[in-house]
Structures are given as structure tokens and as C-alpha cells.
């Protein structure tokens, strides 16, 4: 079943599309080079800043001679065709690039592409004319559905691994900065996809409609994102401005939704934290609200497990 | 006498339909008959009589609402016996991205056929259905008749004890029909059973030892073809199979 799903992925074009995007990203990474200090902080030193309007702060040579570490490096793209001055050391510049690749390219564009494209796999698989012969085999319906789900996950895992390991190797070879924390994004990407694809699976068993699966799973992703963000906004607002006075009922409802549904923002934060995104981005409300990321992942997985069970039960009771 | 390979006992099936599943359609009503081991058994009847539902219930594709089905000596809900069953569906939709050989490997693996056995059996099956030179071609390039032949090979991939063929000659040319008839004949000689659902009286007359005529979800007749066309009162054969079936389909008593 897993091998068949791989064949289907290549035949449908999604395999080649994701492979092409990954290869393009790796090629871009191979064209990257950085120059400048590797790190601006010495061990045990707290980062400090010069006053913005200090005249001396504009004379870089004078500053360097006085022993101040100056961020005068540059990031070069397309083999030097594009030069971006660095306001940070090379290590955090590479982290910044990895963050764009993991959160922007893979976790948003890649995830949506994979979700939309693979949404058609299950309704086609469950269509009566296609599934009748499979149902007459000595394999349980749970095993057939589980095999298809795992097949799609295995395909996404292979694609995510190629993308992340490929871009990591390319960046490391070009910059000499080997930081394995970026590799953490492979299981997190898979987890993110597994959660939302399980909902697509449930829709497929209930409706056998590709349109319902595509729009339903994207809408569900948006709703979960909104609930996750809304909860953190309410908690952060209560911390920052206690006088705002949200009603007790609203807070309980927001919390209930938050704990019931998957938490894409929290899962994304795991990648952000692993890559030290705090050095590059100011945290949003999700950074202000206190969050137990372990509990977030656990409850998201519980939801996924329940949805998978519901999908399996629905299909096991479907008559053809 | 050997135990029947399939037994239906008072099998009924009611489908719930509509948005709220309030409407019901009764597809089978108390069907009772058995299929002798080693026979070629015809299942005939007008459109929407319930033949395909009966086959689906036999193969655990749908569950009977009431009644029991015994398949190869075990209750039909025991899926393990499906490893000894081959099925050719009336209107197939195989994955278009598979080649003929990979399709047989895929369905063979799902039928729990060992890999080594499959490697030996698949070229032979493709040769039997006249597709030996098309093994590596994707199914999307096949004509309807070729897909039907491949479907027949798929049904035989586990060398089943019981072969269930639902409208197998639909879309088949004369050569393919001959292949099918020869295959069924060879399997009968080996003591293997086939259930043939068909509207083709020529196929039924030529291949079947016994038949069950299904009408409005009930068994209108079960027995040999000779018994079907015989006038019991006069003890002579007075009608052709077609005339007899026309009478049964029209609802007259038999």
C-alpha cells in the first residue's frame, strides 16, 4: 500500500513538483556564501548595543580598533550576484535562511501543496469502482485505510527529508556552519502534515469528494490557526493589560477550543525555538503567552488519533 | 457429497439512502440457496434484481442486514477465506498509473500470495489472457477489452478455490471470450468453483451446471438448467431458456 501510494504520487505530479521545488531550494542554497564574523558574542558575554546616535558608532574602523565587534559581514546569493549587508553574525544569518526555508517554504508552501494535491488520493481510492476489488481481499478495511494514510505520510517524510537535509548540506558546505538543529524540522513538518491530513482522511471517508477534502482541510487548518492565535492573544492581553476584562465565558470557550483542536502555531514555534528565531524576529502574541509546547504537541496528537479512529470507524461501517 | 462452497441462508439486505438515511431500499429478501463445490454456478436475473448485492455480501463488501452466509466453510465475516477467492467486478476502475505487471503484483500481495510465487505466476497469467507483451505498459494505454482481460488475470492471481465473475464478458471481444471460457473449463476440470453473474444466456448455457434466478431480491429458481426449462406437469422440455427466463422476469409463477 505504501509503495502504491509512492507510485500514485509520482504519477499525479506532486512528487515531481515537490522534488523540483526542493532541488531549486538546494540550488539556491548552493549559491549562498557569507562573510564576516562567525559570532559577535563571546562566551559568557551579554549582548550590548551602542547608542544609535553616537557619532563613534558610525566610524567602523575606529570601533574595530577600540575592540568592539562590528557586524560588517555580507550574505551573497546567486554566487555573489546579490549582496545583502549583514546586521548580525554569519551563524545567525544562516539560521535566518534556514528559518525562511523551514517555516516559509516547507511548512507553508510545501505543506499546502502536499495537502491540496494528496487530498484527491483518498476519494479516488474509496470510489466504489476502485475499491470493490480491494475490499474482496483478505485485508481489513482498517489496514487498507491505515496503509494509505501511512503511504502518504511516508511520501511526505521522504520529500521533507530530501528538502531539509539537502538545503542543510548545501548551506553547511558553502558557509562552514554545521548546525544540526535545522534537521529537527523534518519530524515537525511530518507531524504538522499528519495532523491536517488526518482531517482530510475523515472528510474522504464521509464524503468521498476531492473538493470537500481540499477545501475542508485548508479551512480546518485556518480555523485551527485562528483558534491557536486567538487563545494566545487573549492570554497575552490578560497579562499585558489585565484591565481589558475579557468575559469569563469567552476565555473558557477560547481555552476549550485551544485544548481540543490541533495547534499549528505552537508546533511551528518548536521549529522557531530550535532555530533560535528570537534573535531575528520579535515574538508575536504567541511568544508572550505562556505555552507548554510538549502538552500542545500531545493534545494535537490526541486529536489526530481520535480523527483517524473516527475515519476508520466510518469507513468500516460503509456499505458498497 | 462434498459440503457446498457457499451457503446463503435467509439473507436480506436493506440499504439506507438519502441525506438523513431515512429512505430504505430492500435489495435482498430472504435469499436461501447453496453453491456446490466444483461447479460453475450461474446467477441470473433482470437488472436491479439484487445479483451484484448478493455477490458483494458474499465477498464481505457489504454486510447482510439479516441472515447468514458461509464461504468456504467459514462465516463470511471471517476475511481469511477471501485469500482463496478471486473476484472480477462488473465495472472496474484500476489505478491508471500501474502497469499490467505491477497491478498483478499489487493485488497478489493483497491476496497474501508469496512474492516468489507471484514472480512465477504473473508472466504465465499475462500470457494466458493474451497480454504477455504488454506487461510493462501502463493501464491508461489499454482498451476496455484489454482491461477486462487484465481484470480476469487479477481475479486468478491467487489461484482461487472460488472465482466470482460479475459480468465478465462485458466489453470482451470474441478472442477474450474464448480465453474466459477455456479458463473456466480448465478450472472446472481441476474441481474449482466459479460463480458467474451474467446477462449473456449463451455464456450461461455453455458454462453453467446450475443457476439461481434472482428477481426483486428473491430467489425465483435454483437448480440445474434442465430443471429450469422443464415443464414439470408434462415432464418434458417445452421452452427455451430465453422463453423461460422472460416468463420469470415478467413475474409469472414458475
The predicted pLDDT at position B3 comes to: 82
* Residue B238 banded pLDDT, cuts 50, 70, 90: low
Residues of chain B in contact with residue A143, where contact means CB-CB under 8 angstroms, are none
B101 close contact with A: CB closer than 8 A: no
The predicted pLDDT at position A276 comes to: 72
- Cα–Cα distance between B136 and B138 in angstroms, integer? 7
Residue of chain B with shortest Cα separation from A320: B62
Who wins on pLDDT, B57 or A272? B57
Q: Count of residues for chain A?
A: 320
User: Rounded to a whole number, what is the distance in Å from the CA of B78 to chain A's nearest CA?
Assistant: 9
User: Rounded to a whole number, what is the distance in Å from the CA of A184 to chain B's nearest CA?
Assistant: 34
B127 Cα distance to chain centroid: 22
| A29-38, B23-32, B179-188, B202-211: the lowest-pLDDT one | A29-38
User: Rounded to a whole number, what is the distance in Å from the CA of B63 to chain A's nearest CA?
Assistant: 7
Q: In this complex, do B61 and A11 lie within 8 Å of one another by their Cβ atoms?
A: no
Q: Record the cell numbers describing residue A210, joined without a space.
A: 476531492
| Chain A contacts in chain B segment 2-21 (CB below 8 A) | 15
Residue of chain B with shortest Cα separation from A3: B106
Rounded to the nearest 10°, the torsion over CA B240, B246, B249, B251 is -100
The predicted pLDDT at position B254 comes to: 44
The predicted pLDDT at position B236 comes to: 52
B56 close contact with A: CB closer than 8 A: yes
User: Rounded to a whole number, what is the distance in Å from the CA of B234 to chain A's nearest CA?
Assistant: 44
Q: In this complex, do B97 and A8 lie within 8 Å of one another by their Cβ atoms?
A: yes
Please give the average per-residue pLDDT across B180-186, as a whole number: 91
User: What three-state secondary structure class fits A35?
Assistant: strand
Residues of chain B in contact with residue A138, where contact means CB-CB under 8 angstroms, are 79-83, 110-112
Residues of chain B in contact with residue A8, where contact means CB-CB under 8 angstroms, are 95, 97
Please give the average per-residue pLDDT across B233-247, as a whole number: 66
Written as tens digits, the pLDDT of chain A (320 aa) is 888 888 888 888 888 988 999 999 999 999 988 877 666 555 665 555 555 556 666 676 776 666 666 666 778 888 888 887 766 777 778 888 888 888 888 888 888 888 888 888 889 889 888 898 999 999 999 999 999 999 999 999 999 999 999 999 999 999 888 888 889 889 989 999 999 999 999 999 999 999 999 999 999 999 999 999 988 888 888 777 777 677 888 888 888 999 999 998 888 888 777 777 666 666 665 565 667 888 999 999 999 999 999 999 999 988 88
ipTM of the complex: 0.87
SS (H, E, C) chain B: CCCCCEEEEEEEEEEEECCCCCEEEEEEEEEEEEECCCCEEEEECCCCCCHHHHHHHHCCCCCCCEEEEEECCEECCCHHHHHHEEEECCCCCCCCCCEHHHHHHHHHHHCCCCHHHHHHHHHHHHHHCCCHHHCCCEHHHCCHHHHHHHHHHHHCCCCCCEEEEECCCCCCCHHHHHHHHHHHHHHHHCCCEEEEECCCHHHHHHHCCEEEEEECCEEEEEEEHHHHHEECCCCEECCCHHHHHHHHHCCCCC
Q: In this complex, do A132 and B61 lie within 8 Å of one another by their Cβ atoms?
A: yes
- Among candidate residues B150, B141, B98, the one with its CA nearest the CA of residue A8: B98
| Chain A contacts in chain B segment 103-142 (CB below 8 A) | 106-107, 110-112
pTM: 0.84
* Residue B253 banded pLDDT, cuts 50, 70, 90: very low
Q: In this complex, do B87 and A133 lie within 8 Å of one another by their Cβ atoms?
A: yes
The predicted pLDDT at position A57 comes to: 63
Q: In this complex, do B79 and A139 lie within 8 Å of one another by their Cβ atoms?
A: yes
Please give the average per-residue pLDDT across B197-214, as a whole number: 89
Q: In this complex, do B111 and A138 lie within 8 Å of one another by their Cβ atoms?
A: yes
Residue of chain B with shortest Cα separation from A126: B93
B32 close contact with A: CB closer than 8 A: no
Residues of chain A in contact with residue B83, where contact means CB-CB under 8 angstroms, are 138
Check: CB of residue A9 under 8 Å from CB of residue A15: yes
Interface with B, mutate which of A15, A127, A138 (most B CBs under 10 A):
A138
Please give the average per-residue pLDDT across B111-129, as a whole number: 94
Q: In this complex, do B92 and A10 lie within 8 Å of one another by their Cβ atoms?
A: no
Residue of chain B with shortest Cα separation from A124: B95
- Among candidate residues A201, A11, A214, the one with its CA nearest the CA of residue A116: A214
Per-residue pLDDT at B9 exceeds 60: yes
Nearest by CB to B112, from A4, A134, A138: name it: A138
User: Rounded to a whole number, what is the distance in Å from the CA of A218 to chain B's nearest CA?
Assistant: 25
Please give the average per-residue pLDDT across B73-84, as a whole number: 93
Residues of chain A in contact with residue B106, where contact means CB-CB under 8 angstroms, are 4
Amino acid at each position: 500500500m505504501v509503495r502504491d501510494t509512492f507510485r500514485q504520487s509520482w504519477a499525479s505530479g506532486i512528487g515531481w513538483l515537490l522534488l523540483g521545488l526542493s532541488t531549486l531550494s538546494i540550488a539556491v542554497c548552493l549559491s549562498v556564501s557569507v562573510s564576516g564574523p562567525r559570532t559577535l558574542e563571546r562566551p559568557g558575554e551579554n549582548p550590548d548595543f551602542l547608542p544609535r546616535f553616537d557619532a563613534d558608532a558610525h566610524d567602523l574602523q575606529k570601533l574595530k580598533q577600540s575592540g568592539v565587534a562590528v557586524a560588517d559581514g555580507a550574505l551573497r546569493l546567486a554566487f555573489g550576484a546579490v549582496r545583502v549587508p549583514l546586521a548580525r553574525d554569519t551563524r545567525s544569518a544562516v539560521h535566518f535562511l534556514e528559518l525562511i526555508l523551514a517555516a516559509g517554504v516547507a511548512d507553508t508552501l510545501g505543506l499546502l501543496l502536499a495537502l491540496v494535491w494528496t487530498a484527491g488520493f483518498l476519494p479516488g481510492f474509496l470510489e466504489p469502482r476502485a475499491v470493490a476489488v480491494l475490499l474482496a481481499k483478505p485485508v481489513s478495511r482498517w489496514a487498507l485505510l491505515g496503509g494509505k494514510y501511512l503511504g502518504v505520510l511516508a511520501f511526505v517524510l521522504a520529500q521533507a527529508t530530501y528538502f531539509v537535509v539537502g538545503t542543510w548540506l548545501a548551506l553547511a558546505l558553502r558557509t562552514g556552519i554545521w548546525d544540526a538543529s535545522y534537521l529537527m524540522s523534518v519530524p515537525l513538518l511530518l507531524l504538522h502534515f499528519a495532523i491536517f491530513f488526518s482531517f482530510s482522511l475523515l472528510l474522504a471517508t464521509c464524503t468521498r469528494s476531492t473538493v470537500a477534502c481540499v477545501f475542508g482541510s485548508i479551512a480546518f487548518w485556518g480555523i485551527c490557526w485562528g483558534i491557536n492565535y486567538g487563545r494566545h492573544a487573549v492570554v497575552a492581553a490578560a497579562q499585558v493589560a489585565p484591565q481589558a476584562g475579557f468575559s469569563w465565558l469567552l476565555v473558557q470557550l477560547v481555552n476549550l477550543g485551544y485544548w481540543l483542536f490541533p495547534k499549528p502555531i505552537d508546533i511551528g514555534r518548536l521549529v522557531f525555538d530550535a532555530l533560535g528565531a528570537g534573535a531575528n524576529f520579535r515574538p508575536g502574541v504567541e511568544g508572550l503567552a505562556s505555552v507548554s509546547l510538549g502538552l500542545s504537541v500531545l493534545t494535537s496528537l490526541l486529536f489526530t488519533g481520535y480523527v483517524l479512529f473516527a475515519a476508520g470507524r466510518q469507513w468500516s461501517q460503509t456499505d458498497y | 457429497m462434498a459440503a457446498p462452497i457457499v451457503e446463503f441462508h435467509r439473507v436480506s439486505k436493506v440499504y439506507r439512502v438519502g441525506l438523513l438515511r431515512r429512505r430504505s431500499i430492500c435489495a435482498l429478501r430472504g435469499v436461501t440457496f447453496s453453491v456446490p463445490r466444483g461447479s460453475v454456478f450461474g446467477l441470473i436475473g433482470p437488472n436491479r434484481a439484487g445479483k451484484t448485492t448478493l455477490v458483494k455480501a458474499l465477498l464481505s463488501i457489504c454486510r447482510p442486514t439479516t441472515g447468514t452466509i458461509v464461504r468456504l466453510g467459514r462465516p463470511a465475516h471471517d476475511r481469511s477465506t477471501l485469500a482463496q477467492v478471486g473476484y472480477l467486478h462488473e465495472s472496474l476502475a484500476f489505478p491508471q498509473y500501474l502497469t499490467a505487471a505491477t497491478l498483478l503484483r499489487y493485488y497478489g500481495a493483497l491476496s497474501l500470495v508469496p512474492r516468489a510465487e507471484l514472480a512465477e505466476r504473473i508472466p504465465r497469467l499475462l500470457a494466458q489472457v493474451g497480454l504477455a507483451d504488454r506487461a510493462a505498459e501502463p493501464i491508461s494505454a489499454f482498451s476496455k477489452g484489454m482491461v477486462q482481460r487484465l481484470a480476469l488475470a487479477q481475479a486468478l492471481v491467487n489461484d482461487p478455490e472460488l472465482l466470482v465473475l460479475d459480468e465478465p464478458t462485458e466489453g470482451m471481444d470474441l478472442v477474450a471470450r474464448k480465453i474466459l471460457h477455456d479458463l473456466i473449463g480448465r478450472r472446472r476440470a481441476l474441481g474449482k468453483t466459479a460463480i458467474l453473474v451474467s446477462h449473456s444466456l449463451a455464456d450461461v448455457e455453455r458454462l453453467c451446471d446450475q443457476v439461481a434466478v434472482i428477481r426483486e431480491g428473491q430467489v425465483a429458481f435454483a437448480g440445474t438448467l434442465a430443471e429450469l426449462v422443464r415443464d414439470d406437469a408434462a415432464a418434458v422440455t417445452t421452452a427455451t431458456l430465453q422463453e423461460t427466463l422472460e416468463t420469470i422476469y415478467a413475474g409469472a409463477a414458475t
